[in-house]
A and B are shown apart, each in its own frame.
Chain A
Amino acid sequence: MVSLTMSVKLARDYFRLSIDETVPLAGTLGILGPSGAGKTTLLRLLAGLDCPDDGRIAVGTTTWFDGEQGVYCPPHKRGVGHVFQDARLFPHLSVAGNLRFAEQRRGGRRPLDLDISGMLGLVPLMHRMPHTLSGGERQRVALGRTLLNAPEFLLLDEPFSAIDGEHRLEILSLMRDMIAATGLPTIVVSHNLSELSYLADRLWVLRAGQMVAQGPVADVMNRLDLQEVSAQADAGSVLQATVRDHDLHYQLTRLVCAGEMLTVAGAIGSRGDLMRVRVYAKDVALALTKPVDSSIRNVLPTEVRAIVQLPGTPYVDVLLGVGDTALRARITKASADDLGLETGTRAYALLKAVSVETA
């Protein structure tokens, strides 16, 4: 498997970036951090749009930058697909013109064996000029343009920030489907953990130009000690689940997750399918005894592993062990005290079926 070496140092006014990592170039890597953490800079260094002060950037055996040996491969020779947060469509070209521009500059790379325009719904937009498109349409065209260029791998820089909430989820799942369909290794940057949890397999957390945490998405999301994770309003957990069966009468799907049964809304997947389940911490309630006569469909026996007060808020985040996996719950400090929660306390996690997202 091809690996990506990213060993870079860069200093600007009030900003210092220092990363030294080698990762396999496969799957989707999410980079999380607040603005100013160096996420976008990191992507720009990879694309070749900026140069580090020193270090080495290499993909497999190809060196793109080497400060010591004076190697620098310009961006147009790297074959990296870069989708910017502000689409950057060429305003003087129609949608078709923008796509053709990318196709004509594919270099020697083989086109992806996919109907990209069709999958992204670009066919009805072909004759439109960029200024007549909505934010979501622009981002779809930008992604299509990048994919038609048949890049070796994809860099997505906050690709959803210019899209309003309603269309965000739509574009998000479209983008995830496209990444899956193309099989392209992808690096996606965002300040929004929820977006990354949709797309990424692994996460890097950047703080002021330094890596502060990395690992599989599910692990990083359950870290109570990372302000970048805890500060997110939609902090939560990602769990692996298997489809067990469907209740077609009530339109429900029963999953098995960490040995427990989990009911989610809608008839999803088919028996045996592996899927990712997302639960927001704020949607998880806790009870010391198993509730009766309640509308809550999912009651999971858990054990409190850790409790952390969120600074400056009335909340605590509680990490609950569920079998060999974990679930994050966000409740008020008052509730935690009333229940007398502490490490080792056995409690039931209550999840409404409607608040469990499958992805």
Chain B
Amino acid sequence: MTLDWGALALTAQLATITTVILLALATPLAWWLARSNRSWVGWIETVVALPLVLPPTVIGFYLLVLLAPESSVGAWWYATTGESLLFSFEGLVLASLIYSLPFAVQPLQTAFGSVNNNLLEAATTLGASFPDRFLRIVLPLSRRGYLTAAVLTFAHTVGEFGIVLMIGGNIPGETRVASIALYESVETLEYGSAHQMALALLGFSFLVLLFVYVSNRVWAPKSEGGL
């Protein structure tokens, strides 16, 4: 009746990988959403936001269908790696990328949208190309957005349960993440383990949110000189 460290480690691994990949993917998407004024941007925003409102079981169901070895994606993966995406760690990563997408995109989109275009114009006239402007002006001015996106993505990935249950199952060391371990403890009436895991997740969530809110205050934007 000890804390399931394996499940916690797997959870941390899943959340870290998901966060890193999602920040990389969300950066161009969020930039485009923040800067484009095409009329169909609203459609893309809607799709990105869907995981916020859909019951996890809906996403879980579609992923179950999509990742099954009979489907094209599942079959391609099986042919390439010799393993099934369902009930695998890789499948969990893929699912996490989808259901945590809005938590990465939306803070970045807000951050990019609030970077004053005048500053980018000034940088351009000083000879800065687009990648240069992005790295030296946009990224530093969006650091709060990145912090929020990273923490929310990480925490939301840690907190997901329904989808993981549907497509990951409960394989120790492969798909048995913290929320699943807690669920199983309760199912098997091991309330001692359940208490430990629940407390661990509660403490983690509290600390994460505390970090976000406190650092957001510390990093509060100074009035942008000259603007």
Contact = CB atoms under 8 A, between A and B. Distances in A.
Given A92-B141, A149-B127, A133 B118 contact: no
B227 A75 contact: no
B136 interface: yes
Interface stretch (A102-110, A221-229, A239-247, A260-268): A102-110
A91 B125 contact: no
Interface stretch (A17-25, A55-63, A76-84, A328-336): A76-84
B118 A86 contact: yes
Contacts of A80: 125
A90 B137 contact: yes
Given A91-B221, A92-B141, A86 B125 contact: no
Interface residues of A, number: 36
B41 interface: no
Contact of A75 (B125, B132, B222): B125
A132 interface: yes
Contact of A131 (B119, B126, B132, B225): B225
Interface string B191-227: 0000000000000000000000000000001111111
Secondary structure type dominating chain A contacts: loop
A237 to B, nearest CB: 35
B127 A82 contact: no
Contacts of B28: none
A146 interface: yes
A162 B118 CA distance: 15
B131 to A, nearest CB: 11
B123 to A, nearest CB: 7
A126 B85 CA distance: 56
Nearest to A132: B225
Interface in B118-146: 118-119, 121-129, 132, 136-137, 140-141
A91 B127 contact: no
A291 interface: no
A30 interface: no
Contacts of B141: 91-92
A191 interface: no
A149 B128 CA distance: 11
A81 B123 contact: no
Interface residues of B, number: 23
A81 B124 CA distance: 10
A48 B121 CA distance: 10
Contacts of A321: none
A79 to B, nearest CB: 7
Contacts of A129: 222, 225
B227 A88 contact: yes
A350 interface: no
Given A90-B137, A92-B140, A132-B225, A47 B127 contact: no
Given A88-B119, A101-B136, A138 B125 contact: no
Nearest to A105: B127
A131 B224 CA distance: 6
Given A90-B123, A101-B123, A84 B118 contact: yes
A88 B127 contact: no
Contacts of A88: 118-119, 121-122, 226-227
A150 to B, nearest CB: 10
B225 A89 contact: yes
Interface string A104-122: 0111000000000000000
Contact of A49 (B121, B225, B226): B121
Contact of A82 (B119, B122, B223, B225): B122
Contacts of A33: none
Most buried by B among A76, A78, A146: A76
A74 interface: yes
Interface in A30-63: 47-49
A132 to B, nearest CB: 7
Contacts of B221: 91
A278 interface: no
Interface in A138-157: 138, 142, 145-146, 149
A1 B222 CA distance: 46
Contact of B223 (A47, A81, A107, A131): A131
B146 to A, nearest CB: 13
A130 interface: yes
B114 to A, nearest CB: 12
Contact of B226 (A75, A76, A138): A138
A87 B227 CA distance: 7
Contacts of B225: 87, 89, 91, 129-133, 138
Interface of B: 118-119, 121-129, 132, 136-137, 140-141, 221-227
8 contacts: A47-B125, A49-B124, A76-B128, A82-B121, A84-B118, A89-B225, A91-B221, A138-B225
Given A88-B121, A91-B119, A105-B126, 16 more contacts: A75-B121, A75-B125, A76-B128, A81-B125, A82-B125, A88-B122, A88-B226, A90-B122, A91-B227, A101-B123, A102-B126, A107-B127, A133-B225, A133-B226, A149-B127, A162-B226
Interface of A: 47-49, 74-82, 84, 86-92, 101-102, 105-107, 129-133, 138, 142, 145-146, 149, 162
What are the nearest 3 A-B pairs in CB distance? Answer: A130-B225, A87-B226, A105-B127
